Amino acid sequence: MPITSYLEFNAKEYGDEVSLVEINPELLDKDNLPWKEYALVETAHVPGYRKTLSWKGFDGRANQCANLLGSLGVGKGEKVAVLLMNCIEWLPIYFGVLKSGAVVVPLNYRYTSDEIKYCLDLADVTTLIFGPEFKERVDAIKGAIPKVERLFYVGGDKPGFAEDFEARAGLCSEESPGVPLSDDDDAAIYYSSGTTGFPKAILHTHASLVSACVTEQKHHGQTKDDVFLCIPPLYHTGAKMHWFGSLITGGRAALLRGTSPKWILDAAAQEKATIVWLLVPWAQDILDAIDSGEVELSCYDLSNWRLMHIGAQPVPPSLIKRWRSHFPDHAYDTNYGLSESIGPGSVHLGMENMHKVGAIGKAGYSWETKIVGEDGAPVRRGDVGELAVKGPGVMKCYYKDPEATAAALKDGWLHTGDMAREDEDGFIYLVDRKKDVIITGGENIYPVQIEDFLRGFEKVKDVAVIGVPHQRLGEVAAAVIELKPGAASTEDEIMRFSMELPRYKRPRQVIFDEVPRNPTGKIEKPRLREKYAGGSVVEHQMEK
């Protein structure tokens, strides 16, 4: 059945119950209020601070969107792009596009005008729905996107070159458009994270989206009583597919617009969140705020919070050990996935496997995994190879790119480009991206291993290891170190800490700088290589 069926069921069974909450803490001047005082603030008098939407209202808005598109001749299979920050309108528009029979194309809110144009052209988008934050970027390209026939704007202060989406949709029926949908119909085009250049367009069907709902619920045991605090961007498969656990059970979700530690803890307390999905930098910021005294945990009622899970990038074991010291009652989980495998869940650690922190886990519910060498044959257990996954959430193809599709999909297996190994118990550990492997003097160096080690140094907030040119060895490892606020360190101090690593894995250069990450938490290594790998390297004299 199509994924829209879950929304229709919830609207029928739980119509007046809250489905979505939007929290906009920037609208409330409460930075210096402890939670106990903040909870008493009369937020009803702060317009826009906390918005709610019932399941019936959610479905009704989705139907209005679908009926508007249908009235304009947007037909089955046509592409409709959504360019919005997280907001309460986001998911109803997403489901409205699906209900119309069109293919929804979520766009990264960090895209430049050129990247927006590239993605609109590649996906053959005919309708773009965008928000206030993107007026200037869309204005800059509006004359250069001839395939886009309609520009709809969501929000106040509408620009003259776009139509008012909410006004137009508000005139349409809240009844279902009745467009017949099947599991095999195309549903969504997601773009790869783009950390290696312009992103690829990834096509998924309704069956693929439904599989994400089932897998997520199986992994984390969501019930209708769970409350999911959603912080990551909804344009990405990760956040949305974790929210699918709420969709399939009829549970409530809160969308938080902001990532500061105080705002996350405030929202978790206020909404009585039971499940919070974090990215590594946000978890680190929360722990740093606790350790520095910036926040006092005793001021927050977090008794409902049962699960903290992290995805989108390798998770340092030291981070989880530190988290558990402050939140000993939290279950922890991590999921591995990529947009080509419909986000999280193709590999899953499992809440019961805390003793394997550092691993990404085993094959997720309804998934298979294998680790292969260059010849495509499985490697011996313990050896490093490329991770391949197979399951109901594998993409249909890279849209309009048969060559890339053929390279990634082989006999139903998705070759991920991630290097991994499997331990004696069958748990998989990520080693690094295939393209990020550093070859120094004929030896393969996997940056993630060095990064995990360096994050154990108490002054280090974040680290990225890249390969830089070396006249004799070809390339060597350079560590870009982002220190914790107020901390000071030197290259020699980092080098002394690194002495516990095997000699060939020790960084030959240390650079103190901010570690750039994209909205889903992945380190943007191409930016660092462009900045630091173009010049000569002064090799640090390593001790014997």
- pLDDT value of residue 240: 83
Please check whether residue 351 lies inside any domain of the structure: no
306 and 441 belong to one structural domain: no
441 and 342 belong to one structural domain: no
Mean pLDDT throughout 452-479?
A: 84
**105 within 8 A of 81, measured Cβ to Cβ:** yes
CA triple 343-344-347, angle to 5 deg: 125
Residue ending a domain, among 346, 381, 401, is 346
212 and 64 belong to one structural domain: yes
Please check whether residue 540 lies inside any domain of the structure: no
**294 within 8 A of 267, measured Cβ to Cβ:** no
Q: How many domains does the chain have?
A: 2
Task: Report the DSSP beta bridge partners of residue 465.
Answer: 479
Cα pseudo-dihedral 324, 326, 331, 332, rounded to 10: -50
Exposure string of 82-111, with b = 16+ CB inside 10 Å and e = fewer, is bbbbbbbbbbbbbbbbbbbbbbbbbbbbeb
Please check whether residue 430 lies inside any domain of the structure: no
- pLDDT value of residue 45: 54
**342 within 8 A of 237, measured Cβ to Cβ:** yes
Please check whether residue 496 lies inside any domain of the structure: yes
pLDDT of 443 strictly over 70: no
| C-alpha span between 501 and 449 (Å, rounded) | 10
**466 within 8 A of 534, measured Cβ to Cβ:** no
Task: Report the DSSP beta bridge partners of residue 298.
Answer: none
Decide: helix, strand or coil at residue 527.
helix
| C-alpha span between 285 and 484 (Å, rounded) | 9
- pLDDT value of residue 335: 87
pLDDT of 415 strictly over 60: yes
Q: Which domain CATH number covers 501?
A: 3.30.300.30
Please check whether residue 67 lies inside any domain of the structure: yes
336 and 484 belong to one structural domain: no
Please check whether residue 365 lies inside any domain of the structure: no
What DSSP designation does 323 have?
H
What DSSP designation does 271 have?
T
Amino acid identity at 211: S
Residue ending a domain, among 321, 346, 371, is 346
Dmax (CA) of the chain: 76
| C-alpha span between 147 and 81 (Å, rounded) | 12
- Report the side by side order of strands in the sheet with 509-512: 460-470, 474-483, 509-512
Task: Report the DSSP beta bridge partners of residue 467.
Answer: 477
Cα pseudo-dihedral 192, 198, 203, 204, rounded to 10: 10
451 and 333 belong to one structural domain: no
What DSSP designation does 380 have?
P
120 and 237 belong to one structural domain: yes
Least reliable range by pLDDT among 142-146, 297-301, 410-414, 523-527 = 523-527
| C-alpha span between 226 and 255 (Å, rounded) | 14
Task: Report the DSSP beta bridge partners of residue 128.
Answer: 81, 151
Cβ partners under 8 Å of residue 298, min gap 6: none
pLDDT of 28 strictly over 80: no
Q: What is the pLDDT of residues 75-127, one digit of tens each?
A: 899 999 999 999 999 999 999 999 999 999 999 888 889 889 999 999 999 99
- pLDDT value of residue 520: 61
Give the other-Cβ count within 10 Å of 320's Cβ. 19
**Angle, nearest 10°, between helix axes 4-13 and 237-249?**
40
Long-range contacts of 27-34 (CB under 8 A, 24+ apart): 30/266, 31/262, 34/296, 34/299
pLDDT of 541 strictly over 60: no
Closest CA to 171 of 41, 72, 43: 72
- pLDDT value of residue 471: 65
Q: What is the pLDDT of residues 126-181, one digit of tens each?
A: 999 999 999 999 999 999 999 999 999 999 899 999 999 999 999 999 999 999 99
**255 within 8 A of 88, measured Cβ to Cβ:** yes
Tell the residue number behind the tokens 């528009």, with chain if given: 93
- pLDDT value of residue 39: 47
DSSP structure string for 207-255? HHHHHHHHHHHHHH---TT-EEEE-S-TTSHHHHHHHHHHHHHT-EEEE
| C-alpha span between 98 and 108 (Å, rounded) | 19
Please check whether residue 75 lies inside any domain of the structure: yes
Give the other-Cβ count within 10 Å of 114's Cβ. 13
- Please, what is the average pLDDT of the chain? 88
Q: Which domain holds residue 204?
A: 4-346
DSSP structure string for 418-434? EEEEE-TTS-EEEEEEG
Decide: helix, strand or coil at residue 286.
helix
| C-alpha span between 422 and 476 (Å, rounded) | 26
- Within its chain, how far is the Cα of 98 from the centroid? 21
Residue ending a domain, among 329, 346, 363, is 346
Please check whether residue 366 lies inside any domain of the structure: no
Q: Which domain CATH number covers 326?
A: 3.40.50.12780
Task: Report the DSSP beta bridge partners of residue 228.
Answer: 253, 275
pLDDT band at residue 473 using 50, 70 and 90 as cut-offs: low
- pLDDT value of residue 536: 38
pLDDT band at residue 431 using 50, 70 and 90 as cut-offs: confident
- Highest mean pLDDT (candidates 70-84, 348-362, 474-488): 70-84
- pLDDT value of residue 35: 44
Mean pLDDT throughout 359-381?
A: 94
Mean pLDDT throughout 302-308?
A: 96
